[in-house]
Amino acid sequence: MGGLMADALVSQGYSVLVLEAGPRIERAQAVENWRNMPLHNRAGSDFQGLYPQSEYATAPLYFPENDYIKLTGPNGSGFKQGYLRVVGGTTWHWAASCWRNHPNDFRMQSLYGVGRDWPISYEDIEPWYAKAEEEIGVAGPNNPEWQS
């Protein structure tokens, strides 16, 4: 969505600078790192093994605490959320999944008494969902009931 927002601002005459949180990496090198990585690391807990590791970039060895979203289940199992600090960010491993949030996801506290409500509604973000889906070529059943 960031790219779409930048494009919309430029189209309105604004000057926009898009910053990335890390360096440009070569796809061929990332693929080669993946191919040479031990098999147990490919399917293990560290899915970022093919990217350069450092304290600041590309994929940090630690993740800062996030007090808003707890990624630990009731049995103590957790999920180490991965993000990449490189040009292109998570587009390097996003797997083409383009699920929209459900309208109720924006009102978790109001509806279910957990988490926090978003400061925006589904209706606020829905036009941006449609633009993003058109821009990146999201495809699915041509059912008018499910279209914006």
pLDDT band at 17; cut points 50, 70, 90: very high
Q: What is the model's pLDDT at position 15?
A: 97
pTM for this model (two decimals):
0.47
pLDDT band at 4; cut points 50, 70, 90: confident
Phi, psi of 53 (to 5 degrees): -105, 135
Neighbour-count burial for 2-31, b at 16+ CB within 10 Å, e otherwise: eeeeeeeeeeeeeeeeeeeebeebeeeebe
User: What is the Cα–Cα distance from 107 to 121, expressed in whole angstroms?
Assistant: 8
pLDDT tens-place string over residues 82-131: 566 677 777 776 666 778 899 999 999 999 998 889 999 999 999 888 88
Q: What is the model's pLDDT at position 89?
A: 72
Phi, psi of 72 (to 5 degrees): -120, 130
